[in-house]
Structure 1
Amino acid sequence: MSKIQTTPRAKHRLVVVGGGFGGLETVYSLRNVDLDITIIDQRNHHLFQPLLYQVATSTLATSEIAWPIRHLVRKYKNVKTLLGTVEGVDTTARTVLTTDGEVIPYDTLVLATGARHAYFGHDDWEPYAPGLKTLEDATMIRRRILTAFEKAEREPDPAKREEYLTLVIIGGGPTGVEIAGTIADLARDTLKGDFRMIDPATTRVVLIEGGPRVLAAFSEDLSAYAKSALERLGVTVHLGSPVTECHADGVEFGGRSLRAKTIIWAAGVQASPAAKWLGAPSDRAGRVVVNADLTAPDHPEIFVIGDTATVANGGKGTVPGIAPAAKQQGQHIATTIKARLDGDETPRPFVYRHAGDLATIGKRAAVTDFGWIKLKGYLAWWLWGLAHIYFLIGVRNRLAVALSWLWISVSGVRSARLITQRDIAEEITAEASAN
């Protein structure tokens, strides 16, 4: 293994690309080490992705799940924050290249660039079925959901009105299940009494999963409970029927067509192009196949973590792409860097500690699987809520989110159902005129 190159004239230069859970945890764990740290992200905020769907479904405001990166690291004098988009890595010169032409040198590089939604070769579906990975995705999906009700209110044709009141979610993992349950609550509780020409309770929420069950990562009994809980909320669940087409008028799956004006994609992700930057091997989702110590093949000075990497999990498949795993990887990298700076070059295999799986179904039910104990229903929902509140950043945000959830649970009212784009009224008027 090549040793870290340091010189008396300068501190060791660590560049972290990505301000998500893994990248930020790496920086946080090295805040008191004598390093020059540069963190680069194409957005100025750290995002709490597990609750992103709650912004998309009008439960929470954007400011409750996202925080400026500069603010989070303001006390760390050895950390510099850059807003920019990385377009490549020169592994020979050990530099990071940005789209605006800046060249940033590094001694150690951490790539934690995350992932985007993937359409399994059907990228032309994206305009009709947006995915959910960023705040922009969330506010756009919120716009589509709420606008569908506004258009239905103005639509005189019953058949077209039904299309607006049909919302389809593709993918039965945690995100798909959580979105479907929350939209059902929104339609039946929150919007009750808000409209005069339509009854939001008649909204048809359809969840389509290509596999044999929802929440496939959970045990079969919890998966079955989640399906039953969704159906009690009024969600129609279709299993074993992969979607074969998405278009402006709806979806096709299992040999049938379903007309719907709102489609949400929750079926798959694609890693950032980090593997191409490094010329490294990757899996089908584009994630870098890293060594046991999280370094890129042939590049011990480069670490790849989070959704950007595929990490073997000791005979148990691969490490899941979830926030706790990314944070553990960030801590592992920090420990390795500290050891290397002290002259210890011994490779340290990453060992993942799985705390459990959690998913919520609407505002009063959830499933949790910690291996040694499994919970479902209202108690699981409370546990799910406490776990997510704990990982939020700042007392103010924890209180704000807790109060929002409590108010919604008691009253059903969601305060974040705002359509913010200026062209909405014109769009609805134009469509009504065309009809």
Structure 2
Amino acid sequence: MAERIVIVGAGFAGLACARALGSSDADVTIIDRRNYHLFVPLLYQVATAALSPADIAQPIRRLLRRHKNVKVLLGELTGVDLPAQELCLRDGGRVPYDALVLATGSSFNYFGNPEWEEHAPGLKTVEDARRLRSRLLYAFERAEQESDPERQQALMTSVVVGGGPTGVEMAGAIAELTRNTLANDFHHIDPARARTILVETGPHILSTFPEELGRYAQERLTGMGIEIRCNSAVEEIGPGTVRIGEEVLPAGTVIWGAGIKASPVAEWLGVEGDRAGRVAVNDDLSAKGIEGVFVLGDSALLIDPATDKPLPGLAQVAQQQGNHLGRALRKRLQTGEPLPAFRFRDRGNTAIIGRNAAVFDWGHSRMKGGIAWLLWAIIHVYLLSGFENRMIVSAKWVWRYFTYQRGSRLITSEEEEQKPVIYDHPRPES
């Protein structure tokens, strides 16, 4: 009987593992609660109307269709029965396994304030991106109807919490959307006067990059009209407001990008995770103390011997882990060899700031400016799944570059259509 390998999660790690096991002697099942693989690094462009969801997503079955030994199952994991070696699904189904790979990613960490999520959503799913896009565009629609200048300005204010790559990319995209694309779409408001505020708890943005790249990013964002608040901790987020210290900022849109936490893998396995909920794994990516279970990506806590620090929650880390484990399991099936240790090969860290501006850090060398921006675009197009998506995204980027236009400016969330945003909120103090 073929070994039953079950992979939970069709993100970068899970999909890479399934592909590496494709056409092998194993009986592989990949389970995800959605039927598509999403290219999360470009999700912020869906939220800011630069791309459509279909441009950065591909059906899982299509991506794995040539591998006859890989079965795709639509389902949501709720627990793991370790003694029986079975997965428990939300619909009541149970899936047996001989080897289990958990690659279920992460969600945003609101640091003990889960009620903030309603007012300041993060960006992890297509639904998140659509909701943020609708909320952002709807705020400008309400500002167009508002006669009070202070409330107009409040509605045209966007606050991005978190100065990491997610926050920087989001803030830059919002500034470009408001100052370029929306500039001529309204008659009673001037979107070029919109405020974009980036809030960071630490002393500078892009803290995981070298300081000189962080300074460059801050200078470019400031040049785009973005207000950067460093050494500023968010104390409270309510409907249409953000409180930083004693200051209350009225805002039409608030976006969270300040931290992540692992999916509940530790809870499913009955082990203790770290502060971010990650499960400690051995160097072969197996969960410590649990035979036959492997944890990949954002949910795995693995110390990099090169830096003596945990591997970061990056797409390249997850993809390399998935490739490594899939090939190692495949070889073990063929030869019975033990699984080798995983070694991360850092291909550089990058963040796009705005038009003709990005930063790249390879550790031994650094790059910034237009060349880094072009390299960022080439790499992201290459990493997209599917030739069709690569061509569509490339064409849209070229069109947007020369015309400054964005095509997907649609308000699709009924929830946002019914919300007054901060229309009835007290006026900001002068």
2: CA distance, partners of 1:209 / 1:431: 27
Please tell me whether residue 14 in structure 1 is matched to residue 5 in structure 2: yes
2:222 paired residue number: 231
Return the letter of the residue paired with 1:418.
Answer: L
1:3 paired residue number: none
Please tell me whether residue 270 in structure 1 is matched to residue 261 in structure 2: yes
SS in 2 for 1:276: helix
SS in 2 for 1:401: helix
Please tell me whether residue 126 in structure 1 is matched to residue 117 in structure 2: yes
1: CA distance, partners of 2:296 / 2:416: 40
Please tell me whether residue 256 in structure 1 is matched to residue 247 in structure 2: yes
2:181 paired residue number: 190
1: CA distance, partners of 2:20 / 2:101: 13
2: CA distance, partners of 1:209 / 1:258: 15
Return the letter of the residue paired with 1:351.
Answer: R
Alignment of 1:59-98 (within 5 A): 59-98=50-89
* Distance 1:425-1:238 versus aligned 2 partners, 3 A rule: closer
Aligned residues: 424
Report sequence identity in percent: 46
* Distance 1:382-1:429 versus aligned 2 partners, 3 A rule: closer
- TM-score with structure 1 setting the length: 0.94
1: CA distance, partners of 2:422 / 2:291: 58
* Distance 1:430-1:388 versus aligned 2 partners, 3 A rule: closer
Q: Decide whether the 8 Å contact of 2:5 with 2:100 is kept in 1.
A: yes
2: CA distance, partners of 1:329 / 1:153: 49
Please tell me whether residue 157 in structure 1 is matched to residue 122 in structure 2: no
SS in 2 for 1:244: strand
* Distance 1:384-1:251 versus aligned 2 partners, 3 A rule: same
Cα distance, 1:428 vs structure 2 = 6.5
2: CA distance, partners of 1:85 / 1:12: 22
Cα distance, 1:431 vs structure 2 = 6.4
1:391 paired residue number: 383
Which of 227, 231, 235 is residue 244 of structure 1 equivalent to?
A: 235
Which of 191, 200, 222 is residue 209 of structure 1 equivalent to?
A: 200
Q: Decide whether the 8 Å contact of 1:367 with 1:375 is kept in 2.
A: yes
**1:74-130 deviations in Å (ceiling 9; x for gaps):** 111111111111000011110011011101000000000011111000111111100
Please tell me whether residue 376 in structure 1 is matched to residue 376 in structure 2: no
Please tell me whether residue 332 in structure 1 is matched to residue 321 in structure 2: no
**1:9-48 deviations in Å (ceiling 9; x for gaps):** x211010000000000000001021111111001111000
Please tell me whether residue 308 in structure 1 is matched to residue 321 in structure 2: no
Cα distance, 1:373 vs structure 2 = 2.4
SS in 1 for 2:292: strand
Return the letter of the residue paired with 1:360.
Answer: I
Comparing 417-426 and 102-111, the one that deviates more: 417-426
Return the letter of the residue paired with 1:203.
Answer: A
Q: Decide whether the 8 Å contact of 2:151 with 2:423 is kept in 1.
A: no
Which of 281, 301, 306 is residue 272 of structure 2 equivalent to?
A: 281
2: CA distance, partners of 1:36 / 1:171: 42
Cα distance, 1:332 vs structure 2 = 1.4
2: CA distance, partners of 1:281 / 1:421: 38
* Distance 1:206-1:423 versus aligned 2 partners, 3 A rule: closer
**1:316-356 deviations in Å (ceiling 9; x for gaps):** 11111111111110111113212322353534221100100
Q: Decide whether the 8 Å contact of 1:110 with 1:303 is kept in 2.
A: yes
* Distance 1:427-1:253 versus aligned 2 partners, 3 A rule: closer
1: CA distance, partners of 2:399 / 2:322: 35
2: CA distance, partners of 1:189 / 1:195: 12
- TM-score with structure 2 setting the length: 0.95
1:116 paired residue number: 107
Comparing 87-96 and 252-261, the one that deviates more: 252-261
* Distance 1:423-1:112 versus aligned 2 partners, 3 A rule: closer
**1:138-184 deviations in Å (ceiling 9; x for gaps):** 10000111101101000111121111011000000001000000100
1:168 paired residue number: 159
Cα distance, 1:270 vs structure 2 = 1.4
1:6 paired residue number: none
Which of 152, 177, 181 is residue 172 of structure 2 equivalent to?
A: 181
1: CA distance, partners of 2:337 / 2:190: 66
Return the letter of the residue paired with 2:228.
Answer: V
**1:176-230 deviations in Å (ceiling 9; x for gaps):** 0000001000011001111000000000000000011111111000000000110
